[in-house]
A = this chain, B = another copy of it.
Amino acid sequence: MMKPLPLSRAFTLLEPGPVVLVTTRSATGINVMTISWTMVMDFTPRFALTTGPWNHSYAALKQSKECVIAIPAADQIDLVVGVGTCSGTETDKFAHFGLTPLDGQFVKAPLIKECQANIECKVVDIVSKHNIVVLEGLAAYVDARRPDKRTLHAVGDGTFIVDGERLNRKRMMRSKIPPGV
């Protein structure tokens, strides 16, 4: 079940660089894309992603100025690859991949029930020259009961790195950790 995550912690979902699913809603319905080209820009939180007119979701992002970033886990690799290798122009991806759309609080784009975390976002700017979409996170949710929480990191050659061990340097990093994290 999706439970709220303090917005001050939402950037920690994207900072490690996982491959994510991005959902949109347009006049033609809901859609989802796989994307690896994302970046944290601020703790507020603010994110960037690179996409453009070649991508079916781009028109919906531009029109609706909203999306949801959903974080899949390692056991969802075939979902990630499947969503990333077909187009919303010919496939109803939510139906095809058995995804359950959930209503958010702030945006019309759906959360994905099967993902371990979701972030509702509004588009605050599009830097067309570079195909960069700048997003602000409005609300974040995590499903703490999901057993596999390891995320996937796309390499770009058809392989994916799964999260391994976690190292703790909280004491050394104290001066750099923002409040509320």
Contact = CB atoms under 8 A, between A and B. Distances in A.
Contacts of A17: 16-18, 36, 153
A29 interface: no
B153 A153 contact: yes
Among A38, A127, A175, the one with the most B-chain Cβ atoms within 10 Å of its Cβ is: A127
Nearest to A127: B127
Interface string A143-163: 000000011111111111111
B77 A154 contact: no
A181 to B, nearest CB: 5
B156 A166 contact: no
Q: How many copies does the complex hold?
A: 2
A32 to B, nearest CB: 16
A169 B159 contact: yes
Nearest to A173: B158
Interface of A: 9, 11-12, 15-18, 36-43, 48-50, 74, 77-78, 81-82, 84-85, 125, 127, 129-132, 134, 150-178, 181
